[in-house]
Structure 1
């Protein structure tokens, strides 16, 4: 699990915006609809490692943030 302080310091490497923690598995950028993996508790914030999320994932994850 990522520490709240660390999470507050992390930013998307592409647009420098806030990231949402989803199930301790990904950091999600809802503006770009990109998900960055967390591997063995370590965020992998490399643009080339991010993936586009599906419309269903975006809807589910965006609803959690409300």
Structure 2
């Protein structure tokens, strides 16, 4: 999945229904509001509520440093 993928505009967090971001160089869709990352496995986003993992404050800063929060 790449940042220009139209599918990214349709995907939403299963918990708050808000948009997700794709941090550069990462295989994860990120919800900056809840600080949860959802893995992308073999090109398929794993968007079950139980798949979300809390990210560290350092990763949150890295994921949002591009200003796309």
> Please, what TM-score do these two structures have when normalized by structure 1?
0.90
| Cα deviation digits, residues 20-52 of structure 1 (max 9, x gap) | 012250000000000000000000001101100
The answer to which structure has the higher helix fraction is: 1
Q: 1:37 aligned to 2:31? A: no
Aligned residues: 66
Gap regions ≥5 residues in structure 2: none
Gap regions ≥5 residues in structure 1: none
The answer to which structure has the higher strand fraction is: 1
> Please, what TM-score do these two structures have when normalized by structure 2?
0.87
